[in-house]
Chain A
Amino acid sequence: MRKIVSLLTVLMLFCASVYAQTRTVTGKVVDEKGVPIPFATVTVKGTKNGTSADASGNFSLDVKGGNTLVVSSTGFQTKEIGIQGQSQVNVQLAGSANLIDEVIVTAGGIKARRKEIGTANSVVKAESLTAGKAVNVAGGLQGKVAGLQINATGGGVNPSFRVILRGQRSLTGNNQALLVLDNVIVPNEVLGNLNPDDVEEVVVLNGAGAAALYGSQASNGAIIVTTKKGKRGVTSVGLSQTTTVESVAFFPKIQKQFGAGGSGYGVDVNAKPTFSYLENQSYGPAFDGTMQPLGPPLEDGTQDSALYQYNDGHFKFWEKGLTQQSDVNFSSGDDNSTFYMSGQYVGVTGTTPGDKYNRAAFRLNGTRKVGEKVNITYTAGYTQNRYDITTQTGSMYANMLNMPSNGDITRYQNWRTDPFANPIGYYNPWYQNPYFTADNYRSNQRNDYLLGNIEIRFMPIKGLDLVARQGITTRNLSNKNTVAEFKFTDYAKHTDASSKSDISGSVSDGSSFRTQLISDLFAQYNTKISDFTLSLIAGGQWTNQSAKDVGVSANGLVVPDLFNVRNGVGTPGASEANYKARQVGAYGDLRIGYKGYLYLHGTGRNDWVSILAPENRSFFYPSVDLSLIATDAIATLKESNTISYLKLRGGWSKVGQVNLRGTYGAYQLLPTFSSTAYGFPYGSLAGYTVDNSLVSNNLKPEITKGYEAGFDLNLFKDRFTSNFTYFDTKTDDQTVSTRVSSTTGFTSLTTNTGQTQSRGIEATAHVTPIRNRDWSFTIGGNYTYLDNKVNSISTDLPKLSLATYGTDGPGSYAVANQVFPVIMGFDYQRDPQGHVIVDAISGLPTKSDTISILGNATPKHRLGIDGLLKFKNLSFSFLFDYRGGYQVYNSMGPELDWSGTGYRTAVYNRQRFVFPNSVYWDGSKYVANTDITVKNGNGNNGFWSDGINRDITSNYVTSGDFWKLREISLAYDFPASILSKTKVIKGARISVQARNLFMWMAKDNYYTDPEYSDAGSDSNGIGLTGIGQTPPSRYYGATVSVKF
Chain B
Amino acid sequence: MKIRLQQYIKYFIPLLVLGACKRNMTDLNHNPKVATTVQGEMLFTNAEKAFADVMTTPNVNTGIFELISQYWAETTYPQESQYDLGNRDIPLNWWNVLYRDVIQDFNQSINLMRQQQTDPTLLPEQKVAYTNKIAIAKVFRAYAFSALVNTFGDIPYTEALQGRENTTPKYDDQKTVYYALLDTIDAAIQEMDPSGTGFGNADLIYGDPDLHLTGEQQISKWIKFANSIKLKLGMIIADSDPSKAASIVEAAAPNVFTSNEDNALLPYTTTPPNVNPIWTNLVQSGRNDFVAANTIVDTMNARNDPRREFFFTDAAGSGKFIGGVYGAGNAFKNFSHPSDKVEAADFPAILMDYAEVELLLAEGAARGMNVGGTAEEHYNKGVTASIEFWGGTAADAAAYLAMPVNKYSAANWKKSIGVQAWINYYTRGFDAWVEQRRLDYPQLKAPPAAVTAYPVRYTYPSTEENLNPNYAEAATAIGGDEVTTKLFWDKF
Q: Collect the chain B residues with CB atoms within 8 Å of residue A674's CB.
A: 34-35
> Interface stretch among A327-335, A573-581, A1023-1031?
A573-581
Closest chain A residue, CB of each to CB of B209 = A683
Cβ < 8 Å to A, chain B residues 257-296: 269, 271-275, 286-288
Residue B463 is within 8 A (CB to CB) of chain A in the complex: yes
Residue B204 is within 8 A (CB to CB) of chain A in the complex: yes
Q: How far is the CB of A469 from chain B (nearest CB, A)?
A: 13
Report yes or no: A683 in contact with B286, Cβ–Cβ below 8 A. no
Residue B42 is within 8 A (CB to CB) of chain A in the complex: yes
Q: How far is the CB of A276 from chain B (nearest CB, A)?
A: 15
Report yes or no: A746 in contact with B163, Cβ–Cβ below 8 A. yes
Report yes or no: B271 in contact with A569, Cβ–Cβ below 8 A. yes
Report yes or no: A688 in contact with B35, Cβ–Cβ below 8 A. yes
Residue A679 is within 8 A (CB to CB) of chain B in the complex: yes
Cβ < 8 Å to A, chain B residues 39-78: 42-43, 45-47, 49-50, 53, 76
Contact among B167, B169, B201 for A749, CB-based, below 8 A: B167
Q: Collect the chain B residues with CB atoms within 8 Å of residue A577's CB.
A: 33-34
Complex CA gap A580/B32 in Å reads 10
Residue B107 is within 8 A (CB to CB) of chain A in the complex: yes
Q: How far is the CB of B13 from chain A (nearest CB, A)?
A: 8
Report yes or no: A525 in contact with B46, Cβ–Cβ below 8 A. no
Contact among B30, B45, B53, B462 for A667, CB-based, below 8 A: B30
Report yes or no: A685 in contact with B201, Cβ–Cβ below 8 A. yes
Closest chain A residue, CB of each to CB of B467 = A741
Residue A774 is within 8 A (CB to CB) of chain B in the complex: no
Q: Collect the chain B residues with CB atoms within 8 Å of residue A611's CB.
A: 29
Residue A21 is within 8 A (CB to CB) of chain B in the complex: no
Q: Collect the chain A residues with CB atoms within 8 Å of residue B35's CB.
A: 672-675, 688
Report yes or no: B101 in contact with A689, Cβ–Cβ below 8 A. yes
Known: A497-B331, A570-B271, A686-B42. A610 touches B49 (CB 8 A): no
Count chain B CB atoms within 10 A of each CB in A609, A666, A677 and give the residue with the most. A677
Residue B211 is within 8 A (CB to CB) of chain A in the complex: no
Q: Collect the chain B residues with CB atoms within 8 Å of residue A571's CB.
A: 271-273
Report yes or no: A692 in contact with B100, Cβ–Cβ below 8 A. yes
Known: A461-B4, A578-B32, A586-B16. A501 touches B288 (CB 8 A): yes
Residue B36 is within 8 A (CB to CB) of chain A in the complex: yes
Report yes or no: B45 in contact with A739, Cβ–Cβ below 8 A. no
Contact among A678, A697, A740, A743 for B46, CB-based, below 8 A: A678
Contact among A525, A679, A688, A744 for B162, CB-based, below 8 A: A744
Report yes or no: A582 in contact with B464, Cβ–Cβ below 8 A. no
Closest chain B residue, CB of each to CB of A501 = B286
Residue A637 is within 8 A (CB to CB) of chain B in the complex: no
Report yes or no: A689 in contact with B43, Cβ–Cβ below 8 A. yes
Closest chain B residue, CB of each to CB of A692 = B100
Q: Collect the chain B residues with CB atoms within 8 Å of residue A673's CB.
A: 34-38, 42-43
Contact among A460, A578, A697, A743 for B156, CB-based, below 8 A: A743
Q: Collect the chain A residues with CB atoms within 8 Å of residue B8's CB.
A: 460, 464, 466, 523
Q: Collect the chain A residues with CB atoms within 8 Å of residue B121's CB.
A: none
Q: How far is the CB of B261 from chain A (nearest CB, A)?
A: 23
Residue A499 is within 8 A (CB to CB) of chain B in the complex: yes
Residue A560 is within 8 A (CB to CB) of chain B in the complex: no
Residue B403 is within 8 A (CB to CB) of chain A in the complex: no
Report yes or no: A694 in contact with B38, Cβ–Cβ below 8 A. no
Q: Collect the chain A residues with CB atoms within 8 Å of residue B96's CB.
A: 742, 747
Complex CA gap A448/B108 in Å reads 44
Report yes or no: B38 in contact with A688, Cβ–Cβ below 8 A. yes
Q: How far is the CB of A680 from chain B (nearest CB, A)?
A: 6
Q: Collect the chain A residues with CB atoms within 8 Å of residue B274's CB.
A: 679-680, 682-683
Complex CA gap A673/B46 in Å reads 11
Q: Collect the chain A residues with CB atoms within 8 Å of residue B42's CB.
A: 673, 686-688
Count chain A CB atoms within 10 A of each CB in B22, B95, B155, B469 and give the residue with the most. B22
Cβ < 8 Å to A, chain B residues 1-44: 1, 4-5, 8-9, 12-13, 15-16, 18, 21-22, 24-26, 28-38, 42-43
Cβ < 8 Å to B, chain A residues 652-704: 666-667, 669-675, 677-680, 682-683, 685-690, 692, 694, 696-697
Binary B-proximity of A360-401 (CB < 8 A = 1, otherwise 0)? 000000000000000000000000000000000000000000
Q: How far is the CB of B196 from chain A (nearest CB, A)?
A: 21
Q: How far is the CB of A563 from chain B (nearest CB, A)?
A: 19
Report yes or no: A689 in contact with B46, Cβ–Cβ below 8 A. yes
Report yes or no: B167 in contact with A686, Cβ–Cβ below 8 A. no
Closest chain B residue, CB of each to CB of A546 = B28
Closest chain A residue, CB of each to CB of B159 = A743
Binary B-proximity of A525-555 (CB < 8 A = 1, otherwise 0)? 1000000000000111000000000000001
Cβ < 8 Å to B, chain A residues 42-73: none
11 CB contacts below 8 A, A to B, read: A460-B4, A464-B8, A523-B9, A540-B18, A608-B18, A610-B28, A667-B34, A678-B50, A743-B160, A745-B104, A746-B163
Using a CB–CB cutoff of 8 Å, the interface residues on chain A facing chain B are: 460-461, 464, 466, 494, 497, 499, 501-504, 521, 523, 525, 538-540, 555, 569-571, 576-578, 580-582, 584, 586, 608-611, 614, 617, 666-667, 669-675, 677-680, 682-683, 685-690, 692, 694, 696-697, 739-747, 749, 796, 806-808
Q: Please name the 8 residue pairs, one residue from A and one from B, whose CB atoms are nearest each other, closest first.
A: A679-B273, A745-B104, A687-B46, A667-B31, A570-B271, A610-B25, A501-B286, A743-B156
